[in-house]
């Protein structure tokens, strides 16, 4: 009788660990897709910003072209981290240009797009943070006993964090 109870407990533990690890894996995939969703939102917004801004800031075409070029690539996770940081730096430059040129900043359409773009950048930062928090939780689970045994059986590997290199963390310098 005691053996049956022990076997039932072991089976329940295995089922629990399996479901727990699957849930964490799916949560990591979902968090990554949220980054993609926010980047898509940004990529849809930037061409509109470029079109509106062209009429007001002909002198800033290089920055705008860099933003558009960066949005048209289909990178790996590491490349995506680098390229999204590049786009963010270009967006910061563009917003700094708006501060320097009151006529550009005063345009209502540009103001609305600027607010949307700033909101989108904040959402991307949040999505990155959420992804990294989710990966940390997943990586901890696949390394801790007893879930590490189930993770090895399922061949779950440690997931990579979304990170940028030190060069991309430097202060953005605006050159007009």
**Could you tell me the two tokens for 133?**
């928090």
Residue 10 lies in a domain: no
Residues 14-33 pLDDT 10s: 999 999 999 999 999 999 88
The CATH number that applies at residue 129 is 1.20.1440.20
Predicted confidence at residue 28, as pLDDT, reads 92
Number of domains comprising the chain? 1
In-domain check, residue 5: no
Residue 88 lies in a domain: yes
What local confidence, expressed as pLDDT, does residue 59 receive?
A: 45
Residue 31 near residue 127 (C-beta atoms within 8 A): yes
Please tell me the predicted confidence (pLDDT) of residue 73.
59
Provide the domain limits for residue 55: 21-169
Helix (H, G, I), strand (E, B) or coil at 30: helix
Is residue 3 in a domain?
Answer: no
On whether the pTM is more than 0.85, the answer is no
State mean pLDDT over 122-139.
Answer: 90
Q: Is residue 175 part of a domain?
A: no
> What are the tens digits of pLDDT across the range 55-109?
655 545 555 566 666 656 556 666 667 777 777 777 777 666 666 665 555 566 6
């Amino acid at each position: 009788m005691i053996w049956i109870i022990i076997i039932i407990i072991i089976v329940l533990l295995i089922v629990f660990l399996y479901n727990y690890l699957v849930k964490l894996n799916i949560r990591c995939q979902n968090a990554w897709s949220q980054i993609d969703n926010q980047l898509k939102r940004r990529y849809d917004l930037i061409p509109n910003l470029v079109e509106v801004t062209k009429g007001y800031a002909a002198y800033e075409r290089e920055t705008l072209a860099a933003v558009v070029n960066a949005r048209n690539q289909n990178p790996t996770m590491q490349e995506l981290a680098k390229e999204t940081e590049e786009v963010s730096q270009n967006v910061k430059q563009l917003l700094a240009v708006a501060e320097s040129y009151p006529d550009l900043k005063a345009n209502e359409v540009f103001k609305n797009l600027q607010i949307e773009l700033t909101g989108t950048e904040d959402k991307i930062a949040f999505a990155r943070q959420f992804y990294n928090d989710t990966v940390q939780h997943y990586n901890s689970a696949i390394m801790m006993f007893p879930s590490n045994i189930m993770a090895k059986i399922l061949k779950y590997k440690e997931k990579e964090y979304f990170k940028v290199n030190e060069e991309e963390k430097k202060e953005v310098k605006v050159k007009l």
